[in-house]
Amino acid sequence: MTARHILALSGGVGGAKLADGLQQACNDGRLTVVVNTGDDFTHLGLNISPDVDTALYTLGGVANPETGWGRRDETWTFMDTLARLGGETWFRLGDGDLATHVERTRRLAAGEALSAITADFARRLGIQADVVPMSDQPLRTRVHSDEGIFDFQDYFVRHQCRPVTRSIEFAQGDDVRPSPAVLAALADDALDAIVICPSNPYLSIAPILAVPGLRDALREAGVPIVAVSPLVGGAAVKGPTAKIMAELGVPVTADEITRQYDDLLAGFVLDERDAALRERIAVPVHVTDTLMRSADDRVRVARETVDFAKHLKARA
Ligand code: FO1
């Protein structure tokens, strides 16, 4: 695989695994990872950007291998002490992770942009890729459910995705725009492909596409956009993708994911367990084992995805 510059769109754990594979497969090429910030929230007075941190920790090789979020070899003195004091403990912040939130909060309060802080954290973690929050302005995912309207982490962690989803809102002010680094990456002459990682299309990729101007900028970049299916054998590898699809009344099948990305897609990477759905997909399809259990799997799926995208580019 030789690519000059790949841009990937990612949510949390599943997306970060493919981004990690892309980083390892990129060799001398450039990788820009555009990360969802719709899950961001203020908690215990701290600015928390869960998907950005999952990308940073995964690409920096310090992610917790069991959860996929948070840091490996974490200690929990802060949480244990908070519990003894009767504080809020439903959202688990490890001691090392806490330092990330404290430092981010301090720098945001001092007037730095989230993208500048993230770029600096990435450099300090020795990450080769450019990790870029989708926007420097807040856009917040809110889940409208049978039990009321929930802020994202309230729905996802506190209520364990139990409420039945009716619709999903991306609450944002008039000033929300793509991070300058996203637009600069999309304008790069060396950009070869855009990869939509196997993140939740409704909760993790949709907020990125909801940033005004971003969807058009992706389409106008003039390179193939290829998505990797987040469904394997009609089930989500992790998280509530299948549950939400059922609740929104759409079939829980991989071909439905291509309809969610609609006008953007030039190609789709389908899991081999869903190969029978191939005929129902309007764009070119690459069938493979998309499960990323090991580090080698991440690199293999990344290589195949980029090779597929480059093949589509050569054909265009
Ligand atoms: N997910 C959980 O299920 N429980 C938690 O307590 C939790 C804490 C947490 C702390 C920092 C962080 O960066 C992520 C954390 N996550 C937790 C993951 C997060 O809620 C989700 O993975 C994403 O927002 C969805 O991509």
**Residues 161-193: tens digit of each pLDDT:** 999 999 999 999 999 999 999 999 999 999 999
pLDDT averaged over every residue in the chain: 96
298 in any annotated domain: yes
Show contacts of 184-191: CB within 8 Å, 24+ apart.
Answer: 185/5, 185/7, 185/32, 185/34, 185/130, 185/132, 186/7, 186/217, 186/218, 186/220, 186/221, 187/221, 188/5, 188/30, 190/4, 190/5, 190/30, 191/4, 191/5, 191/6, 191/7, 191/221, 191/223
pLDDT beyond 70 at 62: yes
Q: Which residue is closest in CA terms to ligand 1's atom 9?
A: 92
65 in any annotated domain: yes
Predicted confidence at residue 3, as pLDDT, reads 87
Residue-range definition of the domain harbouring residue 45: 5-310
Predicted TM-score (pTM) of the model is 0.97
Predicted confidence at residue 313, as pLDDT, reads 87
Ligand 1 touching residue 21 (CB < 6 A): no
315 in any annotated domain: no
88 in any annotated domain: yes
Predicted confidence at residue 2, as pLDDT, reads 79
pLDDT beyond 90 at 211: yes
The arithmetic mean of pLDDT across residues 268-293, rounded, is 96
178 in any annotated domain: yes
* Ligand 1: nearest atom to the Cα of 36: 26
Count of structural domains, the chain = 1
The Å distance, Cα 153 to ligand 1 centre, comes to 8
79 in any annotated domain: yes
CATH number, position 116: 3.40.50.10680
pLDDT beyond 70 at 1: no
The Å distance, Cα 170 to ligand 1 centre, comes to 19
The arithmetic mean of pLDDT across residues 249-255, rounded, is 94
316 in any annotated domain: no
